[in-house]
């Protein structure tokens, strides 16, 4: 929601609205950290509720989250910079907000990619394809 608001604020050229929506982006992307941590802690509980295909999807969900979590942190950092830096250098506002919007769409796509695997863990009705193959540990 913050990302959509940020797009609107960008086109309206409203700095107060940009700050408010950047704060929403910051809070929502920073919340990826507890989600990631509690997901790690809940792995065994969720695993005990799944079948073999669900186990494969759980591992895929975890692999995707492990690979992509840093993009969420980067977006949180960028949104914080987009709030703070223009205080000293106002001309940076437009480029920082635009960059935040672009990274936001990337992170939104990554969220869908992670959630796609997560939705198949316990919901057989969403499994429209075979489970992912186990990757050899290297």
Residue whose structure tokens are 């960028």: 78
pLDDT at residue 126 in the model: 73
Between these two residues, 136 and 112, which has the higher pLDDT value?
A: 112
pLDDT at residue 81 in the model: 98
CB of 82 closer than 8 Å to CB of 93: yes
The length of the chain is: 138
CB of 113 closer than 8 Å to CB of 64: yes
What confidence category does residue 91 fall into, taking pLDDT thresholds of 50, 70 and 90? very high
In whole numbers, what is the pLDDT of the chain averaged over residues? 91
Cα distance between residue 6 and residue 12, in whole Å: 10
pLDDT at residue 130 in the model: 81
- Share above pLDDT 90 across residues of the chain, in percent, rounded to a whole number: 67
Task: Using the predicted structure, report yes or no on whether residue 6 has a pLDDT greater than 90.
Answer: yes
Between these two residues, 118 and 67, which has the higher pLDDT value?
A: 67
pLDDT at residue 22 in the model: 96
Cα distance between residue 136 and residue 5, in whole Å: 43
Prediction pTM value: 0.88
């Amino acid at each position: 929601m913050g990302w959509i608001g940020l797009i609107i604020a960008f086109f309206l050229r409203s700095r107060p609205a940009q700050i408010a929506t950047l704060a929403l982006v910051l809070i929502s992307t920073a919340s990826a950290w507890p989600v990631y941590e509690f997901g790690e802690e809940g792995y065994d509980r969720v695993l005990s509720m799944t079948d073999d295909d669900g186990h494969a999807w759980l591992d895929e969900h975890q692999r995707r989250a492990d690979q992509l979590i840093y993009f969420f942190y980067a977006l949180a950092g960028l949104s914080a910079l987009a709030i703070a830096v223009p205080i000293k250098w106002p001309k940076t506002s437009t480029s920082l907000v635009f960059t935040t919007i672009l990274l936001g769409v990337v992170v939104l796509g990554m969220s869908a990619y992670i959630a796609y695997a997560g939705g198949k863990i316990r919901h057989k009705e969403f499994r429209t394809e075979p489970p992912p193959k186990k990757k050899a540990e290297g």
